[in-house]
Copies of this chain bind each other. A is one copy, B any other.
Amino acid sequence: MTLSEEDYIKIIYHLGKGEQGTVSTNAIAEKMETKPSSVSDMIKKLSEKGLVNYKKYQGVTLSEYGIKVALSIVRKHRLWEVFLVEKLEFSWDEVHEVAEQLEHIKSEKLIDMLDKHLGFPQIDPHGDPIPSKNGEFKKSIKRLLNEVPVGKEGICVGVKDSSRAFLKFLDKNKIALGDSIFVVDKEEFDGSLQIKIRDVDIQISNQIASNLYLRIIE
């Protein structure tokens, strides 16, 4: 597979929201930052290679095989993102462009060993799930922290209350977007939570927890 083909497959995968959806030529063109006519040409090629199902003027869907390829690219992309954040001190919002290049490196051993080196992570720095080697993965969902069950881990992806006071609190407690949060325990009495963040345990009130969004795995 050429670099360009891989880009198309990945974009079709994302636009099709995982797998099903039919994707339009124009939508692909916009994401690829190219012209619809170029997309038509490329789709024809991908169709001949059995990567997509295609009927003229009717949009495309990924074939079984196309989905497999897409998942392997997504897997590589997300593993590299974890690497950049965990090992090279990148922040979660700096990793995309570089991972976009790294995802095209061809070596099965490389990815297997990277996966191992990172401790077989299940989510990337944006809270999205990392497909396993054979293409399985859990869907991720966005939940308020106070609704996350004990024993689950998630990535902090947003706030409900964006008041100055709340943001200040987060800053003081070193809670930032992109941080991984593990729910250690929940207090029945007042709904307060014990969470582990950057390897330290802290206690937060239910009110705080009900204003923080995590992305967790089902």
- Residue A197 at the chain B interface, CB threshold 8 Å: no
| Cα-based distance from A110 to B80 in the complex (angstroms) | 11
Partner of A98, one of B101, B107, B116: B107
For A106, list chain B residues within 8 Å (CB): 101
- Residue A169 at the chain B interface, CB threshold 8 Å: no
A88 touches B114 (CB 8 A): yes
Partner of A110, one of B88, B109, B116: B88
Which chain B residue shows the least CB distance to A115?
Answer: B88
Q: Interface code A40-71, partner B: CB below 8 Å = 1, 0 otherwise?
A: 00000000000000000000000000000000
Query: How many copies of the polypeptide does the oligomer hold?
Result: 2
Which chain B residue shows the least CB distance to A104?
Answer: B101
B117 touches A88 (CB 8 A): yes
Within 8 A of B (CB), among A148-187: none
| Cα-based distance from A107 to B84 in the complex (angstroms) | 12
Which chain B residue shows the least CB distance to A106?
Answer: B101
| Cα-based distance from A113 to B91 in the complex (angstroms) | 12
- Residue A136 at the chain B interface, CB threshold 8 Å: no
Within 8 A of B (CB), among A103-129: 105-107, 109-110, 113-114, 116-117
For A87, list chain B residues within 8 Å (CB): 87, 117
Q: Interface code A67-94, partner B: CB below 8 Å = 1, 0 otherwise?
A: 0000000000000000010011110001
Extra 7 A-B pairs, beta carbons < 8 Å, given A88-B116, A88-B117, A90-B113: A87-B87, A88-B114, A89-B113, A94-B109, A98-B105, A102-B102, A105-B105
Measuring CB to CB, which residues of chain A are less than 8 angstroms from any residue of chain B? 84, 87-90, 94, 97-98, 101-102, 105-107, 109-110, 113-114, 116-117
20 contacts between A and B (CB under 8 A): A87-B87, A88-B110, A88-B113, A88-B114, A88-B116, A88-B117, A89-B113, A90-B113, A94-B109, A97-B107, A98-B105, A98-B107, A98-B109, A98-B110, A101-B105, A101-B106, A101-B107, A102-B102, A102-B105, A105-B105
